[in-house]
Amino acid sequence: MDKEMENLREKFFKKMASIKNREELQRIRNEYLGRKGIVAQMLKKITSLSPEEKPRIGELLNKIKRDFQKTIAEKDNDFLAENSGKEEQVDISIPGRNFMLGTTHPIELILKYTEEIFMGMGFCIVDGPEIELDYYNFEALNIPKDHPVRDDQDSFYITPDILLRTQTSPMQVRTMESQPPPVRIISAGKCYRRDSIDNTHTPMFHQIEGLAVDKDISLADLKGVITEFCKQIFGKDRITRFRPGYFPFVEPGVEVDVSCQLCQGLGCQSCGYSGWLEIMGAGMVHPNVLEMAGYNVEKYTGFAFGMGAERIAMLKYGINDIRLFFENDLRFLNQFK
């Protein structure tokens, strides 16, 4: 074995001495150091040696391997140095071949953020039909036919009883009908109103609805949950304000504002000089709604809230025209990486 190793060394260095280029060097590298190369084969033979011999020969062979590697690497460097004058320097300022990243639609981004924030607070996500019964969209929400509020929500009808939902609130009733309290849900999706298209209106938009019903849920809880949401979605420095509002399916009703980031609450054009931006309607679920859904109004209370995803996106990203969301222009979409 020792003899064999001696021969190996001798032969290797002899060959190395006569090498002329990198191709030849590569051949020698494969011959000696390749996976099935000479050194590898000699290493295999170790298994047949006696236990005393094994470590010694093993170490010697590894030493040979390291020497060969070093010699080859040095030679390779010599070749490279020789050739460096001939190969051209690449222009590393040329752009790479990039992967053209895809993007999430900004409305989807808002829905995802919102869902995640509320899931963190123990809410679960439910989906409901976009084509809805007038009963769920209005009547079960304490909005009978001929209620003046219907004027603000001009609807697309399929039949006199079936319409495109004008809000995600029908999911409040559907959820309560399908499960006993406690309830804590978020339901988001498309809604439709017969509004002519301009820079603040489109006949289709997205709403995000929330509902929590349990024993002992109060207006203070509503304030806490919404304040936390606003901090997470708009930033910790934004202030949330609660003031009375009117929606037939809640009582007391609440309107929620956040402080305007442009003027820091001092008043500017984008907040109508009030320093505040309206972001959602909310309130304590009206007892009539709980009752229609079959809940015991003596035992349970709850809060609900709803907001427009487009409105949130416009405020969060500074978008000034709602139509951009549905034009699907890549110059717009590409900005939401």
Partner 1 sequence: MQLSYNLLKEYVDIALPPEELAERLSMNGIVAERIKPVFEEVKGAVVGEITDIQAVGKSGNLSLCRVDIKSKKLEVICGAKNIRVGNFVPVVIEGGNLPGLGKIEGKEIQGVYSQGMICSAWELGLEKSKSPGVLILENNFPLGENIKNIKDIADDVIFDFEIFSNRPDLMSIIGIAREIAAFSGKPLHIPEQELIEIEEFITDYISVEVEDESLCPRYAGRIIKDLQVEESPFWLRWKLYLLGVRPINNIVDVTNYVMMETGQPLHAFDLSLINGKKIIIRRANPGEKFRTLDGVERVLTVDNLVIADTKRAIALAGVMGGENSEIKANTKDVFLESAYFDPINNRKTSSYLGLRTDASNRFEKGIDPYGQVFALNRSAYHIMRLTEGKVISGVIDQYSKELSKGKAIKLNLCKIDQVLGMKVGKTNKERKERVIDILSKLKFQINSLEEHLLEVTPPSFRSDIKIDVDIIEEIARIFGYENIPSTLFKATLVQEGKSNKQKAVDKIRNTLISCGMHQIISYSMINPKYFEWLKLPSSHHLCKAIELANPLIQEQTIMRTTLIPGLLKAMQWNVNHSIEQIKLFEIGRTYFPRNGAQGGPLPVEKLMITGGIAKIGRGDIWQKSESWDIFYLKGILESLFDSLGIQDVEYLPGDLPFFHPLHNGIITSKGKRIAVFGRVGDDIISYLDIPGNILLFELDYEELYPFIKREIIFQPLPKYPHIQRDMAIIVAQEISFARIKKEVLKISPGIKKRIELFDEFRGKQIKEGFKSIAFSIFFQSDERTLTDTEVDKIMENVTISLKKLFQADLRQ
Query: Which class for 190: exposed (0-12), middle (13-18), buried (19 or more C-beta within 10 A)?
Result: middle
Record the tokens describing residue 109, joined without a space. Answer: 């981004």
Contact 322, 106 (CB under 8 A): no
Minimal CA–CA distance to 304: which of 204, 192, 225, 235?
Answer: 225
Binder of partner 1 out of 34, 55, 224, 294 (CB under 8 A): 224
Q: Which does 262 bind (CB under 5 to 8 A by kind): Zn ion, partner 1, none?
A: Zn ion
Contact 326, 202 (CB under 8 A): yes
H or E element in which residue 191 lies: strand 183-192
Q: Which does 209 bind (CB under 5 to 8 A by kind): partner 1, Zn ion, none?
A: none
Binder of partner 1 out of 38, 46, 60, 162 (CB under 8 A): 162
Instruction: List binders of partner 1 among 262-301 (CB under 8 A).
Output: 272-274, 284, 286-287, 301
CA distances from 24 to 9, 11, 31, 72, 333 (A): 18, 15, 11, 11, 54
CA-only gyration radius of the chain, Å: 36
Q: How far apart are CA 38 and CA 336, in angstroms?
A: 57
Nearer to partner 1, 37 or 253 (CB): 253
Nearer to partner 1, 79 or 242 (CB): 242
Q: Which does 328 bind (CB under 5 to 8 A by kind): partner 1, Zn ion, none?
A: partner 1
Q: Which does 210 bind (CB under 5 to 8 A by kind): partner 1, Zn ion, none?
A: none
H or E element in which residue 41 lies: helix 38-45
Binder of partner 1 out of 23, 94, 236, 269 (CB under 8 A): 94
Binder of partner 1 out of 69, 71, 227, 232 (CB under 8 A): 227
Question: Which residues on neighbouring strands pair with residue 244, listed in sequence order?
Answer: 254
Instruction: List binders of partner 1 among 43-82 (CB under 8 A).
Output: none
Q: Which does 10 bind (CB under 5 to 8 A by kind): partner 1, Zn ion, none?
A: none
Binder of partner 1 out of 12, 229, 249, 325 (CB under 8 A): 325
> Minimum Å distance from CB 112 to partner 1?
8
Place of tokens 């079959």: 294
Binding status of residue 333 toward partner 1 by CB under 8 A: yes
Nearer to partner 1, 138 or 192 (CB): 192
Q: How far apart are CA 208 and CA 189, in angstroms?
A: 7
Question: Which residues on neighbouring strands pair with residue 205, listed in sequence order?
Answer: 191
> Minimum Å distance from CB 195 to Zn ion?
25
Q: Which does 165 bind (CB under 5 to 8 A by kind): partner 1, Zn ion, none?
A: none
Binder of Zn ion out of 268, 288, 319, 336 (CB under 5 A): 268
- 182 cis-preceded (ω within 30 degrees of 0): yes
Binder of Zn ion out of 271, 285, 293, 312 (CB under 5 A): 271
Binding status of residue 321 toward partner 1 by CB under 8 A: no
Record the tokens describing residue 305, joined without a space. Answer: 């809230």
Binder of partner 1 out of 5, 108, 232, 265 (CB under 8 A): 108
Q: How far apart are CA 99 and CA 103, in angstroms?
A: 12
From 40-48, 63-71, 82-90, 237-245, give the range in contact with partner 1 by CB under 8 A: 237-245
> Minimum Å distance from CB 188 to partner 1?
11
